[in-house]
Structure 1
Amino acid sequence: MSGVSSMIHPANPSVRRTLLVWLSVGILAGIVFAGSMIYMQVREQANQLFDYQMKQLVASLPAQSYAPLIPTRPELSNMQEDIIIQIWDSQGLRIYHSHDTSALPQRAELGFSNFSAHGTTWRVYSAQLGDTIVQVAQPLSARLELAARLALKTVAPLLLILPFLAALIWFAVGRSLSAVQRAATDVQSRDAGALTPISEAGVPQEVQPLTRALNELLQRLDISIQAQRNFIADAAHELKTPLTALKLQILLAERAGEGPQREEAFADLKQGLERAIHLVQQLLTLARQEPGAVEQVPQVVDMQALVRAATGDFAMAANDKEIDLGVQADTPAQIMGHPDGIRILLNNLLDNAIRYSPRGSAVDVSLLADADTVSLCVQDNGPGIPEGDLSRVFDRFYRVPGSQSKGTGLGLAIVRQIAEAHRAEVVLTNTGKGLLVRVVFGRELLPAAG
């Protein structure tokens, strides 16, 4: 398990750190956004308040004419904060100004307006009072500064609690992921044969799909390993019998005298050797067709050409038993699959059909196609299969009781395994004159024409 642990890249992101960073950034962004909104609202309210104040200030002044007055604030030191007042008489003569040096325009525009001078923007309000024009101005920077101070005071507490929120997030995420760490420790402490499910106790809901997927994988591995163990045990048992028979036949051939007795002994030895070779070949074929044993890329399979080629290969075996091997494959048909696997499937069906059909009978191979499926059918003239055994003949090394054939019991197991790899269905039917095997392939995986 240490090798597996060493494969964890140190640069892989931490869930806790990632959540902390993103949540902290999100909270900070929310605080900044809230501060901006508060600032804009306070600025709007400050503008309304100060505008009202300027109007009230003008309204509080007397409406009679003024004599020229001396400025009350000759210095310009606080003009960025002060309110400036100017008054003109009916002749346009400025009779009062609150600051000795004024940056305001010399002509009044009644109502509210904005005016920029010397890098400062002023909010100006002008009104006519009797024979005089009164102009009141205030720098906008004073209003903006007040709005910023109020907004900062509002969001400052939120900024102060941000570190506490980060600590809380760090603790909460760590506590939530502790169950994941326990599950990882459980897996690390197991040996290769421990395939029991991982406990989901305390695992967060967001992580449960991962643990369930791992448990399903462990279950599939357990089933696969158990199937392999059964296969090895069955194969060892099945190989033991022909090998023991070969050993006995070798002893008999050594002891046989000259003439017919010796020839018969060597004929039996040859037949036993052929059965052993056939069994080994079937075992190797079955192993190669196991899921994941060999990586193959699906391709378009011309079923018409494949059926004709396969039946041609069995023509000599059919002639030896005087069996009429017929082929009906006039309709072009294509599927997506593995040509070698489908060829092995058809070879096993033909081998069984010829093996179980009596001498002088017939075996018919047909290819049927429609818009959705392609059906490969093999009809023999053999004894068929008892109804109670139709579902069991697909099991490895299973032979129908009372069968006279010396087969390995692997042919239909190989057929089913290849069919499952192609998501095809295998249907066995006793027709009264023999066994009909129908393999139905889907055509949904074919590439689009053109």
Structure 2
Amino acid sequence: MRSIRQRLLSWQVGALIVAAVLEGLLTHHLAWGAFNDVRDNSLQLIAHSVVRHGVPPPGDPGAAADALATSQPISSDLGHFTTQIWSPDGRLLYSSLAGGGPALQPPGLHVVPWGGEEWRVYTLADPRQTVQVAVTSADRLARFAEFVPWLLAPLALLVAVMWLLMPTAVNSALAPLDAWGRDLRRRDVQHLHPVATQALPDELVPLGDALNSLLARVDTLLNDQRALLADVAHELNTPLAAIKLQAQLARRSAETEAQRRAAFDELDRGIARATHLVAQLLQIARLEPGVREHRPEPLRLDRLAAEAVGSFSARADEREVDLGLSPSEPLDVMGDPHDLRVLVDNLIDNALRHTPRGSRVDVEVRARDGWAWLAVSDNGPGIAAPDRERALQRFARLRPEQTTGSGLGLAIVHQIVQRHGGQLQLDGAEGGGLRVRVGLPLRG
């Protein structure tokens, strides 16, 4: 059963039936006990009345004999109170049943069998006589059965009214959910504003807040994707236009071999810039939620840094940059190997792109306060303190005159650090330049 409405109705109907049965049994039990108490009190009242008035007067043997002779047979007296009177010496003086009735009992209330039936008997002793009043249990049960429908009628009416009101109550309670459904079905991606939660029941407010939080995240994600697509279109347009222009110049520069070579060198650099931009865009796309599964595993951060330094050594030599790995500690962290390699590559690539020839780039891995810190330092122009926060945004170029970068390197690093629950710090390096520090929790 997947319907909340059906579940609520089923549980309510089931609870109503169980409660009605228990209430009916309890009412029957209490009413039966009270009915017996009232009837037993009636037996006592009759016995005391007989003692006071005498039926017939005790000590008149002739009257007693006449009374016994005129007693009604049992068959004609069933269902009525039966009265018996004994003399002090135990002789039966009077009986409302022909042939007597239940045997004489000690004073008080008793339940005794007689004549194939169960009798409730009350005996009252007096110095002049002993009076015994009795009635059959079957008669008492029959009398009580006449009252049972009237006892259970209010309960049946209550059950019927609740049965009719329960669907209305359930539909009213679920009305906000139905309203949400209608509201959300009418929306599109341009209308992701929060749903109203002011008039909701208290139990549905957390659900409404969670839904609004989800809508806000989806709206933010869509806005980020729209901005990214706009930025990508703009950023790709520039290098592609440059490549097209350089290709045209290469065709026209056919006068000398040197001119042709210079034109093709410019074309190669344009293609390299476009290729680098596309590669970084692919890296950003892979970091989007749901595109690629995040698979952390134990790895040595110092070894990862050493591999990255080795892969960039040829490029560093080409730019005459002293790239090296400072003495580092063997540190284990939990992380996605692919993402962390992208992080280290972008840090080193960013340092090489923005430092002049003959500069120095140092990579170091150290432990401090339970964190593994990866630091990439250079002695280039650096980033001014007010601009460091903006440098983490996508396509942020702090020096528009530079055309070697795309403004995505630090943004990619920032996104990977957030994905791993790490820390990212930008500060100045010794002797000028920039030092980027990435902190990751040590494994264990």
TM-score (norm 2): 0.82
Question: Which aligned pairs between 1:9-28 and structure 2 lie closer than 5 A?
Answer: 12-13=2-3, 15=5, 18-28=7-17
Aligned residue type for 1:436 = R
Deviation for aligned residue 1:300: 4.1
Letter of the aligned partner of 1:345 in structure 2? L
> Bigger CA drift: 33-42 or 284-293?
33-42
> Partner of 1:393: helix, strand, or coil?
helix
Q: Give the whole-Å Cα distance in 1 for the aligned partners of 2:99 and 2:183.
A: 83
The equivalences for 1:228-377 within 5 A come to: 228-257=225-254, 258-320=256-318, 321-335=320-334, 337-358=335-356, 359-371=358-370, 373-377=371-375
CA apart distance, 1:162: 4.1
Question: Could you tell me how far apart the structure 1 residues matched to 2:101 and 2:301 are?
Answer: 97
The corresponding residue for 2:382 is 384
Residue of 218, 224, 232 corresponding to 2:215? 218
How is 1:93-104 mapped onto 2 (pairs within 5 angstroms)? 94=92, 96-100=94-98, 104=102
Residue equivalent to 1:437 = 436
Distance 1:313-1:89 versus aligned 2 partners, 3 A rule: farther
Residues 1:129 and 1:305: Cα distance change in structure 2 (over 3 Å): farther
Q: Which amino acid aligns with 1:279?
A: L
**Larger deviation, residues 293-302 vs 341-350:** 293-302
Report how far residue 182 of structure 1 moved. Answer: 4.0
Secondary structure at 1:342 match in 2: helix
Instruction: Report the 3-state secondary structure (helix = DSSP H, G, I; strand = E; otherwise coil) of the residue aligned with 1:368.
Output: strand
C-alpha contact 2:120 2:134 (8 A) present in aligned 1: yes
1:195 alignment partner in structure 2: 192
How far off its partner does 1:98 sit? 3.6
Q: Is the 8 A contact 1:39 1:147 kept in 2?
A: no
Cα gap change, 1:133/1:332 in structure 2, threshold over 3 Å: closer, same or farther? Answer: farther
Match of residue 417, structure 1, among 415, 418, 430: 415
Instruction: Give the distance between the partners of 1:210 and 1:126, measured in 2 at CA.
Output: 72
- 1:232 is aligned with what amino acid? L
- Compared CA separation, residues 54 and 235, structure 1 to 2 (3 A): same
Cα distance in 2, alignment partners of residues 124 and 91 from structure 1:
20
Q: For 1:109 and 1:32, how far apart are their aligned partners in 2?
A: 40
Distance 1:78 1:92, change over 3 A: closer
What letter is aligned with 1:228?
Q
Runs of 4+, deviation exceeding 6 Å: none
Matching residue's letter, 1:286: I
Q: What's the CA shift string for 1:276-305, capped at 9, x where partnerless?
A: 111110000001101222233444444344
Q: CA RMSD in A?
A: 3.5
**2-side partners of 1:29 and 1:402: how far apart?**
78
Contact 2:423 2:438 in 1 (8 A): yes
Report the counterpart of residue 395 of structure 2 in structure 1.
Answer: 397
Secondary structure of 1:123's aligned partner: strand
Q: Deviations over 1:84-114 (max 9, x none)?
A: 444555665555544347784x463443333
Aligned equivalents of 2:266 and 2:385: distance in 1? 34
Question: 2:435 and 2:115 mapped to 1: Cα distance?
Answer: 103
Unaligned 5+ segments in structure 2 are none
Aligned residue number for residue 50 of structure 1: 39
Letter aligned with residue 437 of structure 2: R
TM superposition shift of 1:34: 3.8
Q: Which whole-Å CA distance do the structure 2 matches of 1:219 and 1:134 have between them?
A: 90
Among all aligned residue pairs of Structure 1 and Structure 2, give the percentage whose two residues are the same amino acid. Answer: 33
Q: CA deviation at 1:231?
A: 0.6
Distance 1:361 1:200, change over 3 A: closer
SS at match of 1:61: helix
Alpha-carbon contact 2:302-2:329 (below 8 Å) kept:
yes
Report the equivalent of 1:130.
127
Task: Note if contact 1:125-1:136 (Cα within 8 Å) is conserved in structure 2.
Answer: yes
For structure 1, the 5+ residue unaligned runs are 1-10
Native 8 Å contact 1:35 1:152 kept in 2: no
Amino acid at match of 2:337: P
- Larger % of helix: which? 2
Q: Distance in 1 between matches of 2:112 and 2:375?
A: 96
Change (3 A) 1:78 1:385: farther
**Cα distance in 1, alignment partners of residues 165 and 138 from structure 2:** 40
Name the larger-Rg structure. 2
Letter of the aligned partner of 1:181 in structure 2?
D
Say how many residue pairs are matched. 430
Report the residue type matching 1:126 in the other structure.
Answer: T
**Conservation of the 8 A alpha-carbon contact between 2:422 and 2:438:** yes
1:408 aligns with 406
> Structure 1 stretch 139-148 or stretch 347-356: which is displaced more?
139-148
For residues 118 and 25 of structure 1, do their structure 2 counterparts lie closer, same or farther at Cα, with a shift above 3 Å needed? farther
Q: 1:315 to 1:148 in 2, by over 3 A?
A: farther
Instruction: Assess, with a 3 A threshold, how the Cα gap between structure 1 residues 72 and 427 changes in structure 2: closer, same or farther.
Output: farther
CA 141–438 in structure 1, closer or farther in 2 if over 3 Å, else same:
farther
2: distance between equivalents of 1:334 and 1:109?
94
Kept in 2: contact 1:308–1:327 (CA 8 A)? no
Q: What is the alpha-carbon distance in structure 2 between the residues aligned to residue 102 and residue 26 of structure 1?
A: 53
Output the amino acid matched with 1:112: L
Alpha-carbon offset, residue 174 of structure 1: 3.9
How many Å separate the matches in 1 of 2:100 and 2:352? 118
Query: In the superposition, relative to structure 1, how do residues 342 and 138 fare at CA in structure 2: closer, same or farther (>3 Å)?
Result: farther
2:226 is matched by which residue type in structure 1? R
Per-residue displacement from partner, 1:148-181 (whole Å, max 9, x unpaired)? 6546424413423544444444445545655543
Aligned letter for 2:250? A
SS in 2 for 1:409: coil
Task: For 1:411 and 1:399, locate their aligned partners in 2 and report how far apart those are by CA, in whole Å.
Answer: 11
Q: Report if the CA contact (8 A) 1:324-1:362 is conserved.
A: yes
